[in-house]
Structure 1
Amino acid sequence: MSTQPPEGEATQPGTFAPLGETTFRNMWISNTISNAGGLIQAVASAWVMASIASADFVAMVQTATFLPMALFALPAGALADIYDRRKVQIVFFSLALVSAALMTLASSADLLTPWVLLGFCFMVGSGNALSAPARGASVGEQVPKELLAPAVALNNISYNLARSVGPAVGGVIVAALGATVAFFINAISYVPMLFSLYRWNRVAEVSRLPPEGLFRSIHAGVRFVANMRPVRRAIMRVFVISFLGAALQALLPLVAKDMIGGDASVFGLMLGAYGVGAVSGIFVLQRLRASIGNENIVRMTCVVGAAALVILAHSTSLVLDLVVLLVAGMMWMVVVTTISITVQLFVPRWVMGRAIATCSAATTLGISLGALMWGHFAEIYGLPLTFQASALTLLASLALTRVLRVADRTASTESDERVLDDPEVKLGITGRSGPISIELQYRIPAEKARDFYNLMREMQQVRSRTGAYDWSLSRNLADPELWSETYRLPTWLDYLRHRNRRTVDDMTLLMRAREMHVGIEPVRVQRWLDRPSGSVRWREDAPDRGDDGLKLQD
C-alpha cells in the first residue's frame, strides 16, 4: 500500500500564510474592524428591539439585517464581475457608512420605533450586501492561487473574530452608554476599510470583449451555478441548514433576557462566546477537510447544532450556555466556511463574484426566512419548544445526504488561458447578430459509442454553464459512426464569450472527445447564423454592416 499523502496535502499552506500578503492583510484587518462595528450595532439593535417589542419583532432584526443579501446578492455579484471590484466596494461601503450615520442621528433624536429600527437595519445591511461579493471575489486577486483556500477561511474568520469581541463590547457599551453610542461606533468602523480600498493598487483585468449588461451577467451566473452540480448542491445544502438552524441566532436575545434574566452585557457575552467558538473553528477546519471530507463535516455540524439547541432549550445556567455557544459557534463557522471554500474552488474567475453572491444569498435567505418562521413559532409556542423543533429539523436534514452531497476538491479551478484562433467569418454580422448555431461532427467507432455518449452528456453541462442552450446530440442513421453535437447561443458576442470561458477541466473533457474521433479529417465545426435577416441586404443600395461587426473579434 502506498504511504504517499493524498495529492495536495503535502504542500498544503499554513492557516495564516495569506496574512503574509500585504494587500490581503490590510484588507483583512480593516474588514475585521468593520465587522466588529457591525456586530456592536447588531447587539444594540437586538437589545433595543427586545425592550420595545415582542419576540417576532426581535427575530425580525435578523431578517432585516440578512434579507438585503438575499435580495441583492445576484446583482451585486454581477457588478463585482463586470466592474472594478475596488470601486464597487468603495461605493457600497460608503452607502453603509451613510446609513449607519443616519441611524445614529435617529437614535439620538429618540425616533426609533420597531419599524424604523428595522428599516435602518435593512439600509445598513444593503450597503454590506452590495459590497460583499466584490470583497469575496477580490481575495483571489490579493493572494496567489495556492493560498486561496486558507485566504477564504481567514476571510470568513474575520467576521467570527469580530464576533468574539464585538458583541461583548457592544453589550457593555449599550448597558453603560446607550444604543446611540453603539450605532456611532459602527458608522466610524467603515473608515479603515475605505482607506484600505483607496490604497489598494488593483491591476485591472483586460478583456478582449465588451462587458456584459447587468441582467445578462446575472443570467449567465445563474446558468453557471445551475449547471455546475457540485456548486448547486453545496448552495442548496447551506440554504437548508441556515433555514433550519436560524432559531439559535435569531432568538438568542430572548435566551439572555428571559431564560437567564440578564441585561445587554449578558447578551453581548453570549454572542462573544459564540464568536470565540467560531474563531476556534479555523484551527480544526483544514484538518477536518483533509481527514473526514466535506460531507462528513456537514453531517457532524448538524448533529452538534441540534444538541446545542436542545441544551439551550432547557438550560438556565449562564456558564453552561456559554460552553454550548462556544461549540455551536465553532460548528457554524466550520460548515459555512467549508461550503464557501467548496464553491470557490469549483468556479473559474470570470463568474467568481456571482457564485459567491449566490452562496451568500442562499445562506442569508435561509437565515432571514428561518428567523421569521422561528420568531412566529416562539411567539405562539414559547422558546424551549421552538429550539427543540429546530433541533429535530436539523437532524432530519441528514436525509439530504444522498441528493445534496457536498463534494470534495483540493485545487482551484483554472481558466484555460490559451487564445483560440478567431473563427472564420465572411458574412456581414455585428456583435448582436444571432442566434448562433454551432455544429460539431465526430466520427466515432461503434465500439466506443457508449463511452462517447456518456462523455457528451458531461459536455452538455460544460456548454450549458458557459451560455449555450438547445444542446442536442444526434447519430446518423445511414452512417452510424457519424455523430453531430449542436447547440445555440443568443448572439455572436455570447458565442465569443462562450469560447473565452473555458477552463482547463473543460478543455480536458473536449480533448477526450476529440481523441475518440477517427478519420483523416479533424472534427468538423460549422457555425450558422439562424434567421439571417440582419445580414442580408434586401436592396442593392443598403449599407453593409459586415466590416464594423467583424472588428469585434480583434
Structure 2
Amino acid sequence: MNVFRSLKYRNFKLFFYGQSVSLIGTWMQKTAVSWLVYRLTGSALLLGLVSFVSLIPSLVLAPYAGSVVDRHNRYRILLITQVVSMLQAGALAFMILFKFYNIPAIIGLSLVQGIINAFDVTCRQSMMVEMVDKKEDLPNAIALNSTMTNFARIAGPAVAGIVLSTFGEDFCFFGNFLSYIPVLTCLFMMKLNTVVISKPQKSIWYELQDGFKYVSGDRDLSSLIIMLSVSSLFVIPFNTLMPIFAKDIFNGDAKTFSWFESAAGLGSVISAVYLATLKTDKHITRIIIIASLIFGSSVLLLSYAPQLPLALLFMVVTGVGMMAQTSAINTYIQTHAIPAMRARAISYYVMAYQGMIPIGSLLIGWLANELGPRGAVCVEGVVGILATGLFVLYKRRQGMEPVMGRLAA
C-alpha cells in the first residue's frame, strides 16, 4: 500500500518495528507514573511537577543537543541514549517492585529520562533522512513514525489500565524495562551509511549561535516554531489533568484514565494515517492551521463535557488536531531545513514541542487549583483558538500565502 511505502527501506523498517515495541512500554510507564503519583498524593500540582521535570531538559538542552548531533555519529548517540534509557527504566522498576514509593526519587528519575530524551529525540528525528533513500518518501516516513508513536499511545495506556488493575504498578514498569530489548536488537541489525564527521572548525558555542541565526532568520521556520511553542505552553498540557477528569469528575479508576490516553492516541493515529497518504507537502500550512483550530476547539468542548462518552469523543478529536499540527510542522522543518542545519533546526522543534510542555504543565496545575480542572482546560482551549487566529493574521500580513482563500476553498 502507498501509505506504507517507506517501509521498503530495511533500516527504516527495523527502526519502525523496534521503536513500536519500546514506545508501548514507554506509554505504559508514563500512565503508571501519572496514576501512581496522583494515587499517593492526590495533588494536581505534583502531577504537573512530574511532567515538568521529565520534559524541561528539552527546553534547556535541545539547542545544545542539536549541535552535538550535527558534530557526531548519530547512530552511536542513539545507541547510547537507548541503553541509558533502559538503565533508567530498570532503576524505576526495581524501586516500585520493592514498594519504595518515594516521590522525590520518582521525580529525580523522571528528570534523568528528560535529559536523555533531549538528545534522543533530536537524534532520532535527524536520522530519519539517513534511513530513507529517496527524499520524496521522507514525509511518508515521518508520518509513519508519528503513526507508530501514537499507536503506542493507544496500546500503552490500554495495556497499562489492564495491568494496573490486575497485577499492579510494578508490572507496568518492568514491561517498559524489557521493551528496550527489541529496539536495541533492531538498532544493532541496521546497516547505515553514516556520514564521516569531519573535525569541526568552530566551537560548539559558535555552532549554537549559527543554529539560532539560521532558524530566526527564516520567517517560515521561526513562525511555525513560535506557533508550536504557544501550543505546547498553553494547549497541549491540558492532558496533565486527565487523571483528575478520570478519577474525580467521572468517578473512574486507572482503567478509566487509560481510556482518556487511548482516545487521544486513536485520534492521533487517524490523523497520522491521513498525513502518510499525502504525496507532497504542498498544502502543509493549510493543514497546520486547520489542525490547530480543531485542536483548540476540541479542548474547549472537552472542558465541559457532561458525560464520559462525550468526553472520550472530544479526546479523540484533540488527538486528531494535536497530531496533525505537530507532525505537519515537523515535516515542514525536515523537508525545508538545509542539511548542515537540519539537526539544529529540529532541536528548536524539540525545544518548542517538548521543552514548553513542562512549563505549561506547572501552569495548568496552578490554574486547576485556582479555577478547577474544567475551568483550566477551558482556558487552554480558548488560547488555542486565539493563537491560531493570530497565526493566520501573521501569514496574511506577510503575504506568504493566501491562507484564508485556501481555507475557503
* Both structures adopt the same fold (TM-score exceeding 0.5): yes
Q: Which is richer in strand?
A: 1
Helix, strand or coil: the match of 2:2? Answer: coil
Q: What residue number does 1:399 align with?
A: 390
**Is 1:335 equivalent to 2:325 in the alignment?**
yes
Instruction: Give the count of matched residue pairs.
Output: 396
The structural deviation recorded for 1:320 is: 1.3
**Does structure 1 conserve the Cα–Cα contact (< 8 Å) formed by 2:68 and 2:204?**
yes
Query: Which of 288, 297, 301 is the aligned partner of 2:291?
Result: 301
Match of 2:9 among 2, 21, 40: 21
Establish whether residue 142 from structure 1 lines up as the match of residue 124 from structure 2: no
* 1:358–1:56 distance in 2 versus 1, CA, 3 Å: same
| Amino acid paired to 1:105 | F
How far off its partner does 1:371 sit? 1.2
Distance, in Å, in 2 between the alignment partners of 1:198 and 1:27 is 10
User: Do structure 1's residue 156 and structure 2's residue 179 form an aligned pair?
Assistant: no
For residues 203 and 180 of structure 2, the distance between their equivalents in structure 1, rounded to whole angstroms, comes to 30
Q: What's the offset of the Cα at 1:293?
A: 2.8
Q: State the one-letter code of the partner of 1:400.
A: F
Alpha-carbon distance in structure 2 between the residues aligned to 1:343 and 1:310: 29
Q: How does 1:74-93 map to 2 (within 5 A)?
A: 74-93=63-82
Long gaps (5+) in structure 2: 402-409
Q: Is 14-23 or 288-297 further displaced after alignment?
A: 288-297
Alignment of 1:86-485 (within 5 A): 86-143=75-132, 144-206=134-196, 210=200, 212-285=202-275, 293-397=283-387, 398-403=389-394
Letter in 2 for 1:341: T
Amino acid at match of 1:17: R
Pairwise CA distance, 1:68: 2.4
Contact 1:107/1:180 (<8 A) preserved: yes
The counterpart of 1:44, out of the listed 18, 26, 32, is 32
Q: Which amino acid aligns with 1:176?
A: T
Deviation at 1:240, TM superposition (A): 0.8
Distance 2:140 2:103 in 1: 40
Question: Pairwise CA RMSD of aligned residues?
Answer: 2.2
Distance 2:9 2:257 in 1: 36
Distance 1:14 1:220 in 2: 38
Give the conservation status (yes or no) of the 8 Å contact 1:234–1:404.
no
Q: CA deviation at 1:210?
A: 4.1
> What is the alpha-carbon distance in structure 2 between the residues aligned to residue 103 and residue 211 of structure 1?
41
**How many angstroms apart in 1 are the aligned matches of 2:250 and 2:69?**
44
Q: Residues 306, 229 of structure 1: CA spacing in aligned structure 2 closer, same or farther, 3 A cutoff?
A: closer
Determine the C-alpha separation between the residues in 2 that align with 1:292 and 1:307: 25
* Higher RCO (CA < 8 A, seq sep 6+): 2
Aligned mates of 2:201, 2:25 — CA distance in 1: 35
Superposition deviation, residue 341 in structure 1 = 0.6
Alignment map for 1:520-535 (pairs within 5 Å): none
Q: Answer whether contact 1:82 1:211 (CA < 8 A) is retained.
A: no
Q: Does the CA contact (< 8 Å) of 2:74 and 2:123 recur in 1?
A: yes
Partner amino acid, structure 2, of 1:90: L
**Deviation of the 1:252 alpha carbon:** 1.0
Q: Distance in 2 between matches of 1:192 and 1:120?
A: 23
